[in-house]
Structure 1
Amino acid sequence: MKHQHKFDTSGKQICCTLEEKINQQAEQHSEDDGHDHDHSGGNKSTFRMFLPAIISFVLLLIAIGIDNYFTQSWFTGWVRIVWYILAYIPVGLPVVKEAIESISRGEFFSEFLLMSIATIGAFAIGEFPEGVAVMLFYAVGEIFQNLAVTRAKANIKSLLDQRPDEVNIMEGNVVRTVKAEDVPIGAIIQLKPGEKLGLDGELLSETASFNTAALTGESQPDTKSKGEAVLAGMINLNTVSQVKVTTAYTDSKLSKILELVQNATEQKAPTELFIRKFAKIYTPIVVFLAIAICLLPYFFIDNYQFKEWLYRALIFLVISCPCALVISIPLGYFGGIGAASKNGILFKGSNFLDVIATIQNVVMDKTGTMTEGVFKVQEVVFKPDFDKEEILKMVNALEGQSTHPVATAIHDYVGPIDTSIVLQNAEEISGHGLKATVNGKELLVGNFKLMDKFSITYDIDPSSIVYTLIAVGYDKKFVGYLTIADSIKEDAQITVDKLKALGVKTTMLSGDKDTVVQFVVKKLGIANAFGDLLPEDKVNKVKEIKAKNETVAFVGDGVNDAPVVALSDVGIAMGGLGSDATIETADVVIQDDKPSKIPMAINIGKQTKKIVWQNIALAFAVKAIVLVLGAGGLATMWEAVFADVGVALLAILNAVRIQRMKF
């Protein structure tokens, strides 16, 4: 079998042989059980995995029965030896082969070598049944580990089924099936009910309902209207629809999510990396200890018997095999990532599961995080000296340069942009608003700090108005303002309550006016809040929290708040169906924009870490006890089997629990 080594960011090899083997087997098993195969095919694949163990088990049972219950005169000497060898070969030969291949690569102290030495040694001293039994249980343990890893990856791998390889495009009145990766931007896709969209695009039909579970984890239908964005992986639910392709296949939202998820298992948690390094040191130590157990008593014991002490050494080797640690810990993290993915939360690596479990502060943006981010213009208050309709047209044209939700609200209120309005020198002033020249005069649209920056005087007190204010200045004069309101998300209150229950502090940082921010936090019960902040102000506030040696998770859109995301211990993006930059910058992406997924993500991290440490404690405790008993001659090969395979299986069962938990 060829091994494909994985590397961490420093380029150092970090994968242990056993986990590589199981991962490769799991991937092969996943392919055999893929969606292109029927259920019976999957069962056949599983049966093939167990077939060598079944053959070995049947031969072993017959041999033990003849040895102990149905004595036969012919079952002696070389016949008996050959029978046990035949029972050993189906399960033992692959392991011995792996041991030889490991040695050829310079990996002398692998788990395969330990099991090979122990079982072949048992044959050498005449303990044939135990030699076969140990290897049989080891092989069965590997199969269960394989199946457990496959199941742990199932939630992640199922995403691959969401991206169809072919789509139906319209060329005039003719519909043609082509590979999705060959479809050019601008092509028209015909999407029948029940079909999955293969590329991102713009809906050309008047309305259509879609199942967005592949992207958000939510199966509730989402109705789209003509001109709205629809994404690869969405399933058309009712009528035949037409979609204009706007993004190349490899750049689609789903492709980026798949890439993120597939790379997630490459980013290892510190616990995982430590255990791997520990196993590489631990394994050769126990080999030398086993040699010492076998040979040293010769110099101290009068009635030394080589066969007895070799048996103890072999038991010691079986017990010492670090399978439970090397397998169950990565499996715990696989399970955590899979459970999160199932709930529409994408972790970019198991290391972030560890970090998020220790978060003490959640710092959040307001707009689009705790509020809907869907603004509506409430009123327009302009001075009578100005033509209200004409000014609104200019404001609408300038806001057309921005993708901010406020710009969308103004566009919805005013209507289509008047193309006769010519903007010159249009620019965005970070944290303030927009500026341009119209008809030779300066037009300013933004917050009141923008008015102050350009020395435009105004006769109102912005703090006296709760709603978000958009001030307008024209020709160096204050024109007036628009009030814009946003609504709090349905699950925002639940989010704050759950974070408090987890003992996590909450802080809101927003560029919106402070009166609006204080109104929201008072309603939700958020501990601290600061409004009227520029991007650099948010950075300073997060630095103040981190200066107290407290861990911080920042939740925002991952684009405008990129500096804060980079500074925080965990950057959480309310990704939803939003920008690709969100997925690029954050460590954790919440796909359906629900803030209640924030405490869920923290809880998944805590449960994953808890399970991992339970497995570490279980493996070390049982192995330590049985190692001492084995060295003292009080444990047999059967206890050794439990300490190795039994503990590994218990740890695996514990690890897969996280996939069944309700968060």
Structure 2
Amino acid sequence: MFEIEVDCPHCAEKVEKAVSEVSGISNASVDFETQTMHIEVDDSIRGRYPEVLAAVSEAASAAEPDFKLSDVTERVADERARRHVFDIGACSPECADRAEAAVNELDEVEDARTDGARRRMYVTLRSEFDGIGGDVLEKVAETAVDAADGFSMKEIEDDGADPECPALPPKGAPAKHDGHGHEHGHEHEDSCACSCGAHHEHAAVDEHENTGSVQHTFVIDVDCPNCAMKVENAIAAMDEVESVRIDFVGKRMRLRLKPEFEKDYPMIIGKVEETARGAEDEFSMKETVPGKRPAEEEEEEGGKGMMPLRIAAAAVFIAFGIWLEYIDDYSLTHDSAVLAIIFGAGLAVIGYDVIIGGIRNLLKAGFLDEKFLMTVATVGALAVSCLDPDSDYWTESVAVMAFYQIGEYFEDRAVSRSRSNVKALMALKAPFATVVEDGKAVRKDPEEVAPGSELIIAPGEMVPIDCIVIKGESYADTKAMTGESVPRRIGPGDELLSGYIVTESAVSVRTVRRYEDSAAAKVLNLIEESSARKSSSEKFITRFARWYTPAVVGCALAIAAGGALLTDDPSGWVIKALIFLVVSCPCALVVSVPLTYFCGIGRASRENILIKGSSYIEMLAKTDRAVFDKTGTLTEGVFGVTAVRPAEGFSAEEIADAAACAESYSSHPIGRSIVSYAGGGIDPSRISDSKNLPGLGVSALVDGRAVYVGSRGLMAAEGIAVPDEQDSGGADVCIAIDGKYAGRIEISDSLKEDAASAVAELHAMGIESFMFTGDRERTAEHVAVELGMDGYSAELLPQDKTRRLEEVMAGTRGRTCFVGDGINDSPSLARADTGIAMGGIGSDSAVEAADAVIMDDRPSKVAEAIRISRKTQRIVAENIAMALAVKFAILILTPTTDLVTMWVAIFGDVGVLILAVCNSVRALGFGKKARGRGAAASA
């Protein structure tokens, strides 16, 4: 990619044509709006870069003398040359985070980023310090070691790996470093070599194949979030594993083996499964089969399906025990054995699986999970009731387990419902593709169809793979992919994206991509992977859970021992200790927080907004400034005639017809818009002596009359006086007929229908709006005023947009999002706190550069994305506050008062879990209807 300077669209067109004719250039594309040029070279001249650059520059300058060219890859190469790579060994994530933060504080460092999977730290020095060399690097190493005990750094040769970290700028984009205190926008969770489960923030390593490893995806069955965490840590500790991520809500495990172990894949996977079951006995995994839904998702597990019957049976035992104890006046002194048998049977019925799991966990190092804790709490309450005649905790001993199982059951149902609701929004994969082979129609899985295959798509069928229509005409329902409610007419040459539905009549098509590269697959993959990019809230919960349970268990042991040694009521203090154990499980937080983000991402998907992860929901919720690119984002990106202003003695129809005839041979966008406005159907016999006047316009004889169409400069060159008129804010095309000024046609890029309402919605939410454009000042001002923008910047080159964006970001303590078309705005999309690509799901660059993608190309969806993110973040905060407040209140009141009973502890664990999960599911339901009710209420 090259940055260019060219004066007008016509000049850009000439340069593009000239460069395309250079030997060895297979394709050249010049974008006047963004002042960039992209070229593709043939294999025959690859490696002869200087020669190619010289030839391109010479051809472009010959076509347009004022043309200027600069290669942005030189700037990126300079930034890469300033990168230094260090081996940091097998450190813990916490140590790596502290070291990274300390190094980033150094004035000499532009950016530092650790990569736990590769055990590397990438340090990019500022250009003015890079030449100093060893002294600065020694200071970097000393700073890192001082910040984290046991941390080690050794500079190594750059391995050429491209982890897409901010320390290593994306190709063609500046580094996404944080020079003014903003958090990094791109985050990704990856297990560290130390297996502690903590994570680093960096760009998604596993989305790129530069490591040489292959991602394997498994459907898993695991009982609880804590169990999932234990399994993930155990697998991450294996020497053969490069990275592993377990998504409890999505029931997925994504595993990457180190490349050298891929050849032994079956054996290694068996070892992985053995390791996982060593950490959690009931864990199961099955690798996903392309195009097939795993059986684990089609059938509900038998144990969970029997849970209502087990709960009912336990209720019967509890009721019978209470009747024996109180109604029939059994004496606890003489008949406690009978009660022990009845309540013990009830405990076995409702909690046998938990008790067995708790006993098994006693044999493992990591036994402090909810199964063990619930086993100790319930069996302990039963034992106290048996051994102490003055105690009466028979009912509680079974009720604690029963309510725990009820909570687990409802948690599982809520998570399953949320998962099903989100997947219902993503029903974009066609079940089959009808392929024409040897004249016969054969049904195949879309993933088995090669590019270039001929398909037949019948009415009502979904387009399975991105393709081009080669025969037949019909209509396509594009709502699932673009949000458009009106079916689109299709015919030969039209492109169809996978996920469209053909209506009315069948069409023959030819595939242009593989299924995995098609639009629908990208959408599904985005949502499938989204729960893996964790927010800081989720990471906090992970760290909190790691110390919370052991700390509470330690307090419980201290309370039990202290009560036994220092008081005359040891059983009472044992019960207090058991209450501590009941509330020691952090499941309400560990489940509800990721579930809320999962539902929020699903809700956004329903609005045709794809958010790549919970980290970006968190960032969008903090947004207080939105920066828009103009062309293609706020405007349609297509020139159109907005007005025809005839001079005295001429009619609007006359000058429009004359201009259209003169422009009929032009390929310029402005010329095409004039021809389109006139309705086409121009008789070529009316036109002669048509000429293209570079940089000025066109001329022709139309019906024997000399017609000139172009700029004021063309009029001046022909000696034709043009009256001073009010500027339209767009492009004014002057027309002269037979040497006399005949009038002007106003051309502009029309605003999108909802552009103004989008800006108004953002303002109503307290978000400032800015517009960046490479267009001229007066056009930018006209659009900004019409939309009510808070500010704008015009005549910007791509590098200027990034610099100006950084200035806008520096002026706020909140977060800034950049909204662009995802193709020419990649540097700004990457640099902003959150990058949002408009209507770019069919573009690889849109999916890769942006943090969110708006599929239906409507600017108003920016406000919707922020609104959903804020609501989701508010629910997360509610769940965290509620769970922590209730648990800490119980922990404080239990040893200091007699107010807390086992029933209160049950509410503190199971009750809070159910409330938090129900609150989380609310994230699926809010949206436009809710806003409409609110608006009506306020009115």
TM over 0.5: yes
Residue of structure 2 equivalent to 1:244: 510
Find 2:531's aligned residue among 242, 258, 265. 265
Which of 616, 623, 632 lines up with 2:887 in the alignment?
Answer: 623
Could you say what secondary structure the match of 1:558 adopts? coil
Q: Is the Cα contact below 8 Å between 1:507 and 1:529 reproduced in 2?
A: yes
In the other structure, the counterpart of 1:235 is: 501
Number of residues of Structure 1 aligned to a counterpart in Structure 2: 598
Letter in 2 for 1:18: C
Output the CA distance in 1 between the equivalents of 2:452 and 2:777: 44
Query: For 1:160-559, what aligned pairs fall within 5 Å after superposition?
Result: 161-171=427-437, 173-217=439-483, 220-301=486-567, 304-376=568-640, 396=667, 464=727, 466-468=729-731, 484-550=747-813, 551-559=815-823
Of residues 366, 371, 380, the one that matches 1:107 is 366
Equivalent residue letter for 1:9: D
Match of 1:648 in 2: 913
Structure 1 pair 116/470, CA: closer, same or farther in 2 (3 Å)?
farther
Higher deviation after alignment, 604-613 or 110-119: 110-119
Secondary structure of 1:338 counterpart? helix
In structure 1, the gaps of 5 or more residues are 1-6, 381-386, 400-404, 417-440, 447-455, 472-480
2:249–2:419: 8 Å Cα contact kept in structure 1? no
Give the deviation of 1:414 after TM superposition.
Answer: 13
Change (3 A) 1:45 1:371: farther
Q: Secondary structure at the match of 2:418?
A: helix
Paired residue secondary structure (2:921)? helix
Decide whether aligned partners of structure 1 residues 70 and 645 sit closer, same or farther in structure 2, where only a CA change above 3 A counts: same
The residue type equivalent to 2:423 in the other structure is: K
Give the distance between the partners of 1:409 and 1:102, measured in 2 at CA. Answer: 74
Could you report, residue by residue, the CA deviation over 1:378-416 in whole angstroms, capped at 9, with x for unpaired residues? 899xxxxxx9999975x63xx7xxxxx889969989999
Distance 1:298 1:201, change over 3 A: same
Kindly indicate whether residue 351 of structure 2 is the aligned counterpart of residue 63 of structure 1: no
Relative contact order, CA 8 A, sep 6+: which one is greater? 1
Distance 1:25 1:581, change over 3 A: closer
How many Å separate the matches in 2 of 1:314 and 1:308? 10
**Range that drifts further, 292-301 or 42-51:** 42-51
SS in 2 for 1:232: coil
Q: Which moved more, 1:639-648 or 1:508-517?
A: 508-517
In structure 2, how many angstroms separate the alpha carbons of the residues matched to 1:90 and 1:378? 77
Alignment-mate amino acid for residue 216 of structure 1: T
Aligned to 1:561: 825
Query: Are the equivalent residues in 1 in contact too, given 2:660–2:675 (CA < 8 A)?
Result: no
Secondary structure at the counterpart of residue 635 of structure 2 = coil
The correspondence of residues 47-62 of structure 1 with structure 2, limited to 5 A, is 47-62=305-320
User: Which letter does structure 2 place at the counterpart of 1:567?
Assistant: R
Deviation at 1:77, TM superposition (A): 5.5
Residue matched to 1:9: 190
Matches within 5 A, 1:68-87: 68-69=326-327, 76=335, 78=337, 80-87=339-346
- On the 8 A contact 1:35/1:161 being kept in 2, the answer is no
Secondary structure of 1:512 counterpart: coil
| CA distance in 2 between partners of 1:36 and 1:238 (Å) | 34
Single out whichever of 329-338 and 593-602 deviates more from structure 2. Answer: 329-338
Partners of 2:328 and 2:617 lie apart in 1 by: 56
Task: Report the counterpart of residue 659 of structure 1 in structure 2.
Answer: 924
DSSP 3-state at the match of 1:162? coil
C-alpha distance in 1, partners of 2:492/2:798? 35
**Paired residue type of 2:429:** R
1:27–1:150 CA contact under 8 A, matched in 2: no
CA displacement 1:465-489 (0-9 Å, x = unmatched): 6324899xxxxxxxxx997532211
Whether the 8 Å CA contact 1:165–1:181 is kept in 2: the answer is no
| Superposition deviation, residue 554 in structure 1 | 0.2
**Displacement, 1:85?**
2.8
Whether the 8 Å CA contact 1:445–1:470 is kept in 2: the answer is no
2:834 to 547, 550, 570: 570
Evaluate the alpha carbon distance shift between residue 559 and residue 60 of structure 1 in structure 2; reply closer, same or farther with a 3 A threshold.
Answer: same
For 1:183 and 1:407, the matched residues in 2 are separated by 42
| Larger CA deviation: 350-359 vs 115-124 | 115-124
- Matched residue of 1:372: which SS? strand
| RMSD over equivalenced CA pairs, Å | 4.1
Aligned letter for 1:8? E
In 2, Cα distance between equivalents of 1:21 and 1:226: 54
CA distance in 2, matches of 1:269, 1:65: 51
Letter in 1 for 2:634: M
Secondary structure of the residue that 2:441 maps to in structure 1?
strand
The CA distance in 1 between the partners of 2:431 and 2:670, in whole Å, is 38
Tell me whether 1:19 sits opposite 2:200 in the alignment: no
The answer as to whether partners of 1:26 and 1:146 remain within 8 angstroms in 2 is no
Asked if the contact 1:118–1:318 (Cα under 8 Å) also holds between the matched residues in 2, the reply is: yes
| Change in CA separation of 1:125 and 1:347 when aligned onto 2, cut-off 3 Å | same
SS of residue matched to 1:486: strand
Answer yes or no: is the 8 Å Cα contact 1:269–1:351 preserved in 2.
yes
Structure 1 residue 21, shift from structure 2 partner: 5.2
Contact 2:664-2:675 within 8 A present in 1 as well? no
Q: Deviations over 1:204-239 (max 9, x none)?
A: 345322333432355553333432211111122322
The one-character-per-residue Cα deviations of 1:540-565 (angstroms, maximum 9, x if unpaired) are 11111122244210000122111111
Between the aligned partners of 1:633 and 1:458, the Cα distance in structure 2 is 96
Corresponding position: 1:151 with 2:151: no
SS of the residue aligned with 2:475? Answer: strand
Structure 1, 141-150 or 169-178: larger mean CA deviation: 169-178
Q: Are 1:125 and 2:384 matched, yes or no?
A: yes
* Structure 1 contact 512–531 (Cα < 8 Å) conserved: yes
Give secondary structure in 1 for the equivalent of 2:533. Answer: coil
Deviations 1:269-291 (A, max 9, x none): 10111121011111111111111
Structure 1 residue 177: deviation in Å? 1.1
Query: Distance in 1 between the 2:342 and 2:405 partners?
Result: 19
User: C-alpha separation between the residues in 1 aligned to 2:504 and 2:316?
Assistant: 55
Separation of aligned partners in 2, 1:562 and 1:316: 52
Unaligned runs of 5+ in 2: 1-187, 200-221, 229-246, 253-283, 287-291, 386-392, 645-658, 681-691, 698-713, 735-743, 929-939
- Match of 2:811, SS state, is coil
For residue 827 of structure 2, what is the amino acid of its counterpart? P
| In structure 1, C-alpha distance between the alignment counterparts of 2:828 and 2:549, rounded to whole Å | 43
Say which of 818, 840, 849 aligns to 1:585.
849
Equivalent position of 1:438 in the other structure: none
Q: Is the 8 A contact 1:463 1:515 kept in 2?
A: no
SS at match of 2:631: coil
Q: Distance in 2 between matches of 1:112 and 1:84?
A: 19
SS in 2 for 1:367: helix
Pair 283,246 (structure 1): closer, same or farther in 2 beyond 3 Å:
same
Q: Tell me if structure 2 keeps the 8 A contact 1:583–1:589.
A: yes
Aligned to 2:401: 135
Cα distance change on mapping 1:414 and 1:9 into 2, 3 Å: farther
1:10 Cα deviation from its structure 2 partner: 5.8
Contact 1:496 1:525 in 2 (8 A): yes
Query: In structure 2, how many angstroms separate the alpha carbons of the residues matched to 1:180 and 1:554?
Result: 35
Contact conserved, 2:563 with 2:574, CA < 8 A, in 1?
no
Deviation at 1:525, TM superposition (A): 0.8
What is the CA distance between 1:164 and its match in structure 2? 2.0
Q: Distance in 2 between matches of 1:219 and 1:388?
A: 33
AA at the equivalent of 2:884:
F
- Identity percentage over the alignment? 35
1:96 aligns with 2:355: yes
**Distance in 2 separating the partners of 1:634 and 1:220:** 63
With over 3 angstroms needed to count, the CA separation of the structure-2 counterparts of 1:371 and 1:105, relative to structure 1, is farther
Distance 1:294-1:553 versus aligned 2 partners, 3 A rule: same
